[in-house]
Amino acid sequence: MATNYETMYILRPDLIDEQVEQNISKYENLIKENGAENIQIQNRGKRRLAYEINRHRDGVYVQMNYTAPGSTIALMERAMRLSEEVIRYLTIKQDLEEQQTPTEEVSATAMAQER
């Protein structure tokens, strides 16, 4: 069964734009080959890290949202762990059914005020 995931990873700040794009497409192709769908990728750009990681104060943030089976996550995270370009990564499982849309929030608030 496919589940919605969000993966945020940080690339080394000394990579040039071409290398950043190569890494993004590398991980996109990896998850695509292993059954991921609805892939949305956002390159958040170079930002200051909250604390130093491997002597780096900055990093290039990349966010991926996708739907995939759980086995895909293990393969992708193994590739990231072995990569010298990725200095940190985190994958979370998203529960999209539990999130309310703005119209549902407004109607819930209106119903509470009527009481």
What domains can be seen in the chain, in order of their start residue? 3-114 (3.30.70.60)
pLDDT at 115: 46
Contact yes or no for 59/10 (Cβ under 8 A): yes
Which amino acid, 95?
Answer: D
Average pLDDT, the chain: 85
Distance, C-alpha 48 to centroid of its chain: 18
Which amino acid, 37?
Answer: E
Could you tell me the pTM of the whole model? 0.77
pLDDT at 108: 53
pLDDT one-digit tens code per residue, 48-84 = 999 999 899 999 999 999 999 988 999 999 999 999 9
Contact yes or no for 81/32 (Cβ under 8 A): no
Distance CA 114, CA 93 (A): 36
